[in-house]
């Protein structure tokens, strides 16, 4: 039996947006996961604001690699596999104009990337591209 097998290029290359998948697809997935966790814990109704802290190389090059845009799309609960480019551009434009993010339940919360994405100089010990999400609700 051979130790070799044929593999598809799609098994080794991630298809995604941005120049660096770890700086776009990673933050996008993390934002989606965070929003899903808030929904599972029934926190969408009281959500007022989300804050995101980027660490390490994600903080240093994240804006240039589109991490901020990926986070906005993920926090809008838009999946990168189905969003159209025009829809992504529209939601970025709307967020820039009103600093709000719409949820599928009809709710809205404040998110100003200039204030709510914090580019920390700290590097986390467990991963060079670490992130922290903080939800601010009506009750704290």
Residue 47 pLDDT greater than 80, yes or no = yes
- Look up the domain containing 31 and give its range: 23-137
Residue 49's CATH number: 3.30.1330.90
How many residues in the chain? 140
13 domain-assigned? no
Tokens of 125: 């010990």
Q: Using a pLDDT cut of 70, give the percent of the chain over it.
A: 84
Tokens of 127: 């991963």
Residue with tokens 């589109």: 66
pLDDT in tens, 90-120: 999 999 999 999 888 888 899 999 999 999 9
- Lowest-confidence segment of 28-32, 44-48, 63-67 by average pLDDT: 63-67
Please tell me the predicted confidence (pLDDT) of residue 63: 81
19 vs 60, which has greater pLDDT?
Answer: 60
34 domain-assigned? yes
- d(Cα 33, Cα 22) in Å, to the nearest integer? 15
- The count of domains in the chain is 1
16 domain-assigned? no
């Amino acid at each position: 039996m051979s130790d070799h097998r044929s593999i598809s290029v799609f098994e080794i290359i991630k298809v995604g947006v941005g120049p660096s998948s770890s700086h776009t697809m990673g933050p996008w997935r993390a934002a989606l996961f965070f929003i899903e966790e808030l929904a599972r814990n029934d926190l969408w109704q009281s959500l007022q604001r989300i804050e995101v802290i980027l660490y390490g190389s994600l903080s240093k090059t994240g804006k240039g690699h589109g991490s901020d845009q990926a986070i906005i799309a993920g926090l809008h609960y838009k999946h990168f596999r189905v969003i159209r480019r025009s829809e992504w551009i529209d939601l970025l434009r709307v967020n820039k104009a009103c600093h709000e993010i719409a949820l599928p339940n009809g709710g809205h919360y404040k998110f100003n990337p200039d204030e709510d994405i914090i580019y920390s100089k700290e590097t986390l010990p467990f991963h060079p591209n670490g992130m922290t999400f903080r939800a601010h609700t009506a009750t704290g």
